[in-house]
Amino acid sequence: QLQLQESGSGLVKPSQTLSLTCAVSGGSISSGGYSWYWIRQPPGKGLEWIGYIYHSGSTYYNPSLKSRVTISLDRSKNQFSLKLSSVTAADTAVYYCAGGEGRGDYWGQGTLVNVSS
Amino acid sequence: QSVLTQPPSVSGAPGQRVTISCTGSSSNIGAGYNVHWYQQLPGTAPKLLIYVNNNRPSGVPDRFSGSKSGTSASLAITGLQAEDEADYYCQSYDSSLGGSGGFYVFGTGTKVTVL
């Protein structure tokens, strides 16, 4: 059973870069068939895909965020990361990492990131 | 905004049956892409409830069932219980999003209230 855990800064200033990491345990992120996702949820609102990375390292980003997003794998630490640049208050949300086969089979507990000066 | 539309809320008394619709289009559900459903209890991460249209992960009660037809999908909850009070989201893939061939999408979400 895979377990995922997000970590990173909970407070980011406007115009700076949000950085989060998702540690995966109970399995390898290099295993075939799985993709690794970042999803966010603004307070009181619905879910939004940010992007995902295949076990191979190929990345796919939400078109509305593509110019600001980078997702990467760190196979040596069995984790994957999110960087979102030039943040504004609209980026305040609970950020989830997840993994699965075209869906969120496994989820982290989520971490609240507040964008504020 | 999402390309998958759900009713904002549905409600029912304990023991009743409720259904949640997920309306898409020819570039997502209607194109044959799979639909998955999630349950999000208050203050918690979403949990996979139904995968690939009508399959339940291990541990999900058979009170929950999914279906898909044309450009829409539905989640049914039979024998509604108090612990089913949560937000529910559908998810699929849309081939019209972005320049690289498509992207995953969530539905707008539905709050289920047990009366």
Q: What is the per-residue pLDDT across B82-94, written as a single tens digit (0 to 9) for each?
A: 999 999 999 999 9
B46 touches chain A (CB under 8 A): yes
B8 touches chain A (CB under 8 A): no
Long-range contacts of A59-66 (CB under 8 A, 24+ apart): A60/B100, A60/B103, A61/B98, A62/B98, A62/B103, A63/B97, A63/B98, A63/B99, A63/B103, A66/B98
At a CB cut-off of 8 Å and minimum separation 6, what does B35 contact? Answer: B22, B29, B50, B52, B53, B66, B68, B73, B90, B91, B92
B36, B107, B109: residue with CB nearest A103: B36
Query: Which of chain A's residues have a Cβ under 8 Å away from the Cβ of B97?
Result: 63
pLDDT value for A1:
87
Best of B106, B108, B110, B111 to substitute, by most chain A Cβ atoms within 10 angstroms, is: B106
Q: What is the per-residue pLDDT across A70-95, written as a single tens digit (0 to 9) for each?
A: 999 999 999 999 999 999 999 999 99
| Of B95, B84, B104, B115, residue with least CA distance to B20 | B84
Interface contact flag, A47 B36, Cβ < 8 Å: no
pLDDT value for B2:
77
Q: Answer whether residue B98 shows pLDDT above 70.
A: no
Interface of A with B (CB under 8 A): 37, 46-49, 52, 60-63, 66, 96, 100, 102-105, 107-110
Q: What are phi and psi of A90, to 5 degrees?
A: -65, -15
Instruction: Return the amino acid letter for A15.
Output: S
Q: What is the per-residue pLDDT across B24-45, written as a single tens digit (0 to 9) for each?
A: 999 999 999 999 999 999 999 9
Q: What is the per-residue pLDDT across A4-49, written as a single tens digit (0 to 9) for each?
A: 999 999 999 999 999 999 999 999 998 778 999 999 999 999 999 9
B48 touches chain A (CB under 8 A): yes
CB A50, CB A59: distance < 8 Å: no
- For A1, other C-beta atoms within 10 Å of its C-beta total 6
Query: Which of chain B's residues have a Cβ under 8 Å away from the Cβ of A103?
Result: 34, 36, 48, 51, 91
CB A104, CB A83: distance < 8 Å: no
How far apart (Å, rounded) are the C-alpha atoms in residues A85 and A115? 12
Residue with tokens 């760190």: A74
B103 touches chain A (CB under 8 A): yes
Q: Answer whether residue A109 shows pLDDT above 80.
A: yes
B34, B47, B104: residue with CB nearest A49: B104
